[in-house]
Structure 1
Amino acid sequence: MRLRKDNAALQPPMGWNSWDCFAAGVTEKQLLDNAAGLAQLKSCGWEYVVCDIQWSEPLAASEKNQGVVYRKFAPLTLDAWGRQIPAPNRFPSSADGKGFAPIADKVHAMGLKFGIHIMRGIPRQAVHERLPIFGTNATADEAARPDSICCWNGDMYGVDPASAAGQAYYDSIFQLYADWGVDFVKVDDICHEHLYVDDPYGAAEVEMIRRAIDKVGRPMCLSLSPGPAVIEKAWHLEHYANMWRITDDFWDDWKLLLDMFDRCELWQGHGKPGCWPDCDMLPLGKIGTGFGQPRKTNFTHAEQRTLMTLWCIFRSPLIMGGDLTQLDDWTRSLLTNEKILAAQQTGREPEQMERDEKHAVWTSLTQEGGRYLALFNLDNKTQTVSVSLSDLEFAVHSAEDLWGDTPATLSGSCIQAELPAHGAGMYLLQK
């Protein structure tokens, strides 16, 4: 068993990621403007600002491309050792070899932490040019597996785990990230159960990445994408990663939210300090700008409550996807309800008690000996959702309504609440 050398993600991470807003085309200004928005929420626990995919691609932010289209064989901005650096036309402060350090410094000055997205592997461009690997006599082609290419983004070759050059390359990029002041790295194309027949979960590259992080000695939260992660590899994920996606990209569609109950049921019991099953980002508020379809989330208010309630009772990481520069009062209320967020940050032993086509019930324990109770109406109409007090195995004296407008009542042998279609209530039970 690997002994962790850092204290990253002892509680499920909370932050913001640029993908849902800006796709592959986020700019320095957009990143820092949203960092400033997140700083206004940091008292509630929000702390990570994460720049998502293709930040080294100069043309990803072009008006014609609209940010989301991955261009085949796009020229990436690389340093002399084949490591991606931010495209200066999109991130002007990265000029003259500064990389993401100036942005990380500004994010840190706000009291926040800074993260980036990378694809598994080594740039094909570096391999074809046989660029040297920093600190070695090896070249990029000695590190690569040309037969291992992501099926939706062709920027990278996989790294050969049998090659010393491969580990040296990963060591070199994570040393660069440490030098920049990176606190969070989201690694993509590495843990999807359906992508690769021969290796659906890239265990060897996950281990190489973890060794590289441990070697540099800077705590970095390691996030793996996309999902669904392979449940049979839960033990490995818990040893080597801090969070891993249990779903493919999650968007504002009730069917996807309903499906998340299946995924949370499957992964319950696997979250613990330092490693968390991840339900993916929160597509709330204003999203879709980089996809050419800027819009408010399609989720109803009730569905947004259900999303936040499930993510928090399950203790998923909370990574906001909406544009924080256009945060409306309703969305802000979801992100700043400290009583709901407390379940995500400090709850213990979350478990699903009941579920059928019309309702679900989850509970977890509080640090003080109380119990959180989440009631979900999965039906298309308003209904009363109840749970037996005997099933709770908890002598309930009171039930505090944590959302504030969906009160529960103690009625004989059960606790119940009337909930809107696709809605949820969350309660703090005291003896």
Structure 2
Amino acid sequence: MTCLKSSFSRQVLSVAVLFMCCYAPVAMAQDTSAVILTPKAKPMPHINGPKVFGVRPGHPILFTIPASGDRPMTFSAKQLPKGVKVDAKTGQISGAIAKAGRYLIHLEASNALGKANRDFKIVVGEDIALTPPMGWNHYNIYGTRITQEQVLKQAKAMAASGLINYGWSYMNIDDGWQGKRGGKHFAILPDSTRFPDMQRLVDEVHGLGLKIGTYSTPWIESYGHRIGGSAMNPEGRFERTKENVARNKKLLPYAIGTHHFWKNDAKQFADWGFDYLKYDWNPIELTETKAMYDALRNSGRDVVYSLSNSTPFETIADLSKVSNAWRTGGDIKDNWKSLKSRIFTQDKWAKYARPGHWNDPDMMIVGIVGWNSTEKWPSKLTPDEQYTHMSAWCLMSVPLLLGNDIDQLDDFTFGLLTNDEVNAVNQDPLGKQATVLAKEMEDGSKAAGMFNLADNGVQKVTLKWSDLGIKGKYIVRDLWRQKDLGTFEGEFSADVPQHGVLMVRLFSAKQ
């Protein structure tokens, strides 16, 4: 993300400072039918999503080749390592690789209109989530009122809508699924009135070519008043603490019990086949973080490990070594004030972001949302604010976790989420988080966001080469509209709408 200078105040104030000083009342959602910027996908095959995938030695691989274009489509791969196969009809890559190393394979997708090819690297080692996870979390649409049927409905919509063809893959269950402790591992079992058959759900989601995540906490009790990973008794019986009972009167810290069951829970998560864990408590401390990291690492399955919420910055150097993602603040809401507070404020975290380890400013607030209410509504962000949202999250290389009703996906939201050139900035293998000095890409190009966070209409914003550390002529490409804007030297200026963005990528014009 780039800190740019407004033409009317470039002598005294950067855009970051100018735009963070002002705030306007939240605008209600607008008709988005006329502001779809993403061009329609071509009918020929095009392979999207990450170019690299991490897996630990001997652990199962689950990856679906994300390819847009007309169906039916067939898939193949050359130079596959021993133990790995590709389903020609679904594009699902499965199997396991025993030996650590880097394996370069060649993917191919074809239909009646043509073929698409891409090199794809499988890295077998300790790091997983080598690009930020892309997927969905139930909380911003269902709150704690979540059921097995609802999760499966959203997973089917993720596949049927075509989002899966652009790399959207995780279907994450948040707080509300937990029942009581028991079973083979003496682990948390699901509330059978909401999730009658967790194993079946996991298998069905995997059968769609998607991955699935779950939720827990080291506390005795979760935020949603469900059983956690510890207890005050050796039987692991759920007993609400006085602090928790008083929560409605005064918000007090929840307690970590004297008896810990995270190993039990990690074994059960792995047996079911979960691929992601949101671990939620506050304050986040290294002891509990490391304990669950070790439990997941020894479970026999790769589980992306995400910390929530409000990770303490003073200990992030250590926490980032034993987690794949961590929330950098509290919960986001679908209004401009909440979104704006997360733009141009994440730079201090940037040095801790790297492949396999990601800063997380929270979930996406686009589409139909509703949190814990039975009433649902379109995001209160304007179309320009939603473009700013998606652009900023992609430039910052953070997890892209939708919080909306995928079963009610309109054309605007679909276009917002399926722009392969925008998504590629998020999924770039270099894994470099943008700061106010822009984002470096693996191929040597630069990606930048020309943001207008001010409240007083259209502003001219100037991108200066000196701010990017480059010289010479560069081709400037508009990523949302997927078109070149021309060749420029020294700087590039454009009019940007209120609360909007022009997301660009700069390629050297040298022949």
Identity, % of aligned pairs? Answer: 29
Q: Is 1:24 aligned with 2:128?
A: no
Q: Which residue in the other structure is 2:219 paired with?
A: 121
Equivalent residue for 2:370, pick from 279, 288, 309: 288
2:143 aligns to what SS in structure 1? Answer: helix
Q: Which residue in the other structure is 1:363 paired with?
A: 438
Asked whether the 8 Å contact 1:117–1:186 carries over to 2, the reply is: yes
Q: Is 1:314 aligned with 2:406?
A: no
Asked whether the 8 Å contact 1:387–1:415 carries over to 2, the reply is: yes
Asked whether the 8 Å contact 2:284–2:309 carries over to 1, the reply is: no
How many angstroms does 1:147 deviate by?
9.1
Map Cα deviations across residues 237-286 of structure 1 (whole Å, 9 max, x no partner). 21111000012111111111111124312212221111100011101100
Please give the root-mean-square deviation of Cα atoms over the aligned residues, in Å: 3.0
Asked whether the 8 Å contact 2:477–2:483 carries over to 1, the reply is: no
Equivalent residue for 1:390, pick from 460, 466, 474: 466
Equivalent residue for 1:323, pick from 402, 405, 425: 405
Q: Quick one: distance in 2 between partners of 1:203 and 1:237?
A: 6
Structure 1 residues 239 and 411, CA, compared in 2 at 3 Å: closer, same or farther? Answer: closer
1:290 aligns to what SS in structure 2? Answer: coil
Asked whether the 8 Å contact 1:279–1:316 carries over to 2, the reply is: yes
Q: Which residue in the other structure is 1:254 paired with?
A: 336
1:31-110 alignment to 2 at 5 Å? 31-39=151-159, 40-56=162-178, 76-79=179-182, 83-92=187-196, 94=197, 100-110=198-208
How many residue pairs are counted as aligned between the two chains?
Answer: 372
Map Cα deviations across residues 283-337 of structure 1 (whole Å, 9 max, x no partner). 1100106323310000000000001111000101000001000000000111101
Equivalent residue for 1:174, pick from 260, 266, 270: 266
Q: Quick one: distance in 2 between partners of 1:313 and 1:129?
A: 44
Asked whether the 8 Å contact 2:336–2:381 carries over to 1, the reply is: yes
Equivalent residue for 2:450, pick from 357, 375, 391: 375
Structure 1 residues 336 and 292, CA, compared in 2 at 3 Å: closer, same or farther? Answer: same
Q: Which residue in the other structure is 1:205 paired with?
A: 288
Q: Which residue in the other structure is 2:24 paired with?
A: none
How many angstroms does 1:236 deviate by?
1.4
Q: Which moved more, 1:21-30 or 1:290-299?
A: 290-299
How many angstroms does 1:413 deviate by?
3.3
Equivalent residue for 2:319, pick from 208, 226, 237: 237
Counterpart residue type for residue 192 of structure 2: P
Structure 1 residues 202 and 145, CA, compared in 2 at 3 Å: closer, same or farther? Answer: farther
Equivalent residue for 1:186, pick from 250, 268, 278: 278
Q: Which residue in the other structure is 1:62 paired with?
A: none
Q: Quick one: distance in 2 between partners of 1:273 and 1:288?
A: 32
How many angstroms does 1:384 deviate by?
1.0
Asked whether the 8 Å contact 1:306–1:376 carries over to 2, the reply is: yes
Q: Which residue in the other structure is 1:221 paired with?
A: 304
Counterpart residue type for residue 10 of structure 1: L
Q: Quick one: distance in 2 between partners of 1:37 and 1:267?
A: 34
Q: TM-score, normalized by length of structure 1?
A: 0.79
Map Cα deviations across residues 163-191 of structure 1 (whole Å, 9 max, x no partner). xx52xx2111100111000110001114x
1:269-308 alignment to 2 at 5 Å? 269-288=351-370, 290-308=372-390
Structure 1 residues 139 and 26, CA, compared in 2 at 3 Å: closer, same or farther? Answer: closer
How many angstroms does 1:140 deviate by?
3.4
Asked whether the 8 Å contact 1:366–1:372 carries over to 2, the reply is: yes
Q: Quick one: distance in 2 between partners of 1:105 and 1:245?
A: 29
Structure 1 residues 273 and 104, CA, compared in 2 at 3 Å: closer, same or farther? Answer: same
Q: Which residue in the other structure is 1:429 paired with?
A: 506
How many angstroms does 1:393 deviate by?
2.5
Q: Quick one: distance in 2 between partners of 1:173 and 1:45?
A: 29
Q: Quick one: distance in 1 between partners of 2:241 and 2:401?
A: 33
How many angstroms does 1:392 deviate by?
2.0
2:287 aligns to what SS in structure 1? Answer: helix
Q: Is 1:111 aligned with 2:209?
A: yes
Q: Quick one: distance in 2 between partners of 1:406 and 1:424?
A: 16
Q: Quick one: distance in 2 between partners of 1:379 and 1:128?
A: 49
Structure 1 residues 91 and 247, CA, compared in 2 at 3 Å: closer, same or farther? Answer: same
Asked whether the 8 Å contact 2:473–2:489 carries over to 1, the reply is: no
How many angstroms does 1:90 deviate by?
1.6
**Greater per-residue strand proportion:** 2
Asked whether the 8 Å contact 2:450–2:461 carries over to 1, the reply is: yes
Asked whether the 8 Å contact 2:369–2:404 carries over to 1, the reply is: yes
Q: Quick one: distance in 1 between partners of 2:312 and 2:447?
A: 29
How many angstroms does 1:8 deviate by?
2.3
Q: Which moved more, 1:401-410 or 1:377-386?
A: 401-410
Highest RCO, 1 vs 2 (Cα 8 Å, sep ≥ 6): 2
Map Cα deviations across residues 110-162 of structure 1 (whole Å, 9 max, x no partner). 111110111223459798894xxxxxxx5438x999798696899974144xx
Map Cα deviations across residues 22-62 of structure 1 (whole Å, 9 max, x no partner). 00011112101111122221221111100110112xxxxxx
Structure 1 residues 222 and 307, CA, compared in 2 at 3 Å: closer, same or farther? Answer: same
Q: Is 1:345 aligned with 2:441?
A: no
1:107 aligns to what SS in structure 2? Answer: helix
Q: Quick one: distance in 2 between partners of 1:179 and 1:396?
A: 55
How many angstroms does 1:349 deviate by?
3.0
Q: Which moved more, 1:235-244 or 1:114-123?
A: 114-123
Structure 1 residues 290 and 125, CA, compared in 2 at 3 Å: closer, same or farther? Answer: closer
How many angstroms does 1:14 deviate by?
0.6
Q: TM-score, normalized by length of structure 2?
A: 0.67
Map Cα deviations across residues 2-33 of structure 1 (whole Å, 9 max, x no partner). x9974421111111000000000111121011
How many angstroms does 1:78 deviate by?
3.3
Q: Quick one: distance in 1 between partners of 2:227 and 2:135?
A: 32
Q: Quick one: distance in 1 between partners of 2:435 and 2:366?
A: 25
2:294 aligns to what SS in structure 1? Answer: helix
Counterpart residue type for residue 167 of structure 2: G
Equivalent residue for 1:400, pick from 470, 477, 481: 477
How many angstroms does 1:211 deviate by?
1.3
Counterpart residue type for residue 204 of structure 1: T
Q: Quick one: distance in 2 between partners of 1:348 and 1:113?
A: 22
Asked whether the 8 Å contact 2:306–2:323 carries over to 1, the reply is: yes
**Which ranges in structure 2 are unaligned for 5 or more consecutive residues?**
1-55, 58-124
